[in-house]
Structure 1
Amino acid sequence: MFGKKAQPPIKSLIAQGTHIDGNMKFNEGLRVDGEVFGDIHATSEDGSLLVISEAAVVQGGIVADHVIINGTVRGPVHARELLELQPRAKIDGDVSYVALEMHQGATICGSLKPLMAGEASTEDEKPLLKLATKNA
């Protein structure tokens, strides 16, 4: 399901020490190492990747296909495909996802809302939930 598509390349970087006020839109891949005070929304129809690094702080909503978080997010997170929460991820907001991978140490203060993938899903299907372990 998720292994079939290649990851979009990260073409944009918000470097550590950079502070952005305002909403952002991006295509393909974006890595955030700095601070963003506003929403971050992926507009790409061919898949998108958003990486929030350990030093990053985002205060606003996030929407992308594949979201990897290892920093702090204060706002809702919507992963249209896969949400990966690394050990230092801290989310203060509601989270929606099709598949979730959460490492030990990651925290969420908000509700979790599993979504169904595309038209092929039915109401009886359960969302994919993958637990990450150190021994894997």
Structure 2
Amino acid sequence: MFGKSNPKANPPATTNNPVTPAVATTTAEQKGGNRSARIDTLIGRGTTIDGDLTFSGNLNIEGTIKGNLTADNDDSTLILSEQGRIQGEVRVSSMLLNGAIDGDVFANGKVELFEKARICGDVYYNLLEMAVGAEVNGKLVRQKPNDTSKLPPPKAPEPSNT
């Protein structure tokens, strides 16, 4: 009872299946961001969506979007993981990016680019945080919050030949 403890009696708990959360979400939480970790919609690895997508809330993309992506309110956040890809224009309030976007980005809130982020297009932003290793191949245009006067209108969809 009051003697030496037996170290073999209660070995430390270990897990054989470690879970690795998305880099963007973990980093934002570690920085004490005011973003909630809630994910309303998840587009998983191996999933490809052909066509434009409109969302509200928090969208986490680990797959591929081939089309324009638009948030329909100012509380929406896009989280693009390292495996995530978007081929089209992105219009969101804020975003956490560690994947690749081939198209222009319009964000009237904060844009956080992590180490493996790649953007081939112009970025219109209010606040920008960029980690070493992130790439932007295009213009960086700072604008005031909710100042849509400098933003070009969304591109009209191209007619399909099918």
Normalized against structure 2, the TM-score is what? 0.67
Is 1:12 the counterpart of 2:36 in the alignment?
no
The aligned counterpart of 2:124 is 96
The aligned counterpart of 1:77 is 105
Instruction: Return the offset for 1:6.
Output: 4.9
The aligned counterpart of 2:68 is 39
5 Å matches for 1:1-136? 6-7=35-36, 9-45=38-74, 47-118=75-146
Name the Cα RMSD after superposition. Answer: 1.9
Gaps of 5+ in 2: 1-31, 148-162
Instruction: Return the offset for 1:56.
Output: 0.8
Q: Which has the larger radius of gyration?
A: 2
**Equivalent AA in structure 1 for residue 125 of structure 2:** Y
How many residue pairs get aligned? The number is: 116
Percent of counterpart pairs with the same letter?
34
Residue by residue over 1:66-90, the C-alpha shift from the partner in whole angstroms, topping out at 9 and shown as x without a partner, is: 1111001000011111000000000
Provide closer, same or farther for how the CA distance between residues 17 and 96 of structure 1 changes in structure 2, counting only shifts above 3 A: same
**Equivalent AA in structure 1 for residue 114 of structure 2:** Q
Instruction: Return the offset for 1:117.
Output: 2.1
**Equivalent AA in structure 1 for residue 122 of structure 2:** D
Secondary structure in structure 2 of the residue aligned to 1:51 = strand
The structure carrying a bigger strand percent of its residues is 1
Instruction: Return the offset for 1:7.
Output: 3.9
- Supply the distance in 2 between the matched residues of 1:77 and 1:43 (Cα, whole angstroms): 15
Residue by residue over 1:62-116, the C-alpha shift from the partner in whole angstroms, topping out at 9 and shown as x without a partner, is: 1111111100100001111100000000000000100000000000000010011
**Equivalent AA in structure 2 for residue 29 of structure 1:** N
Secondary structure in structure 1 of the residue aligned to 2:116 = coil
Gaps of 5+ in 1: 120-136
Normalized against structure 1, the TM-score is what? 0.79
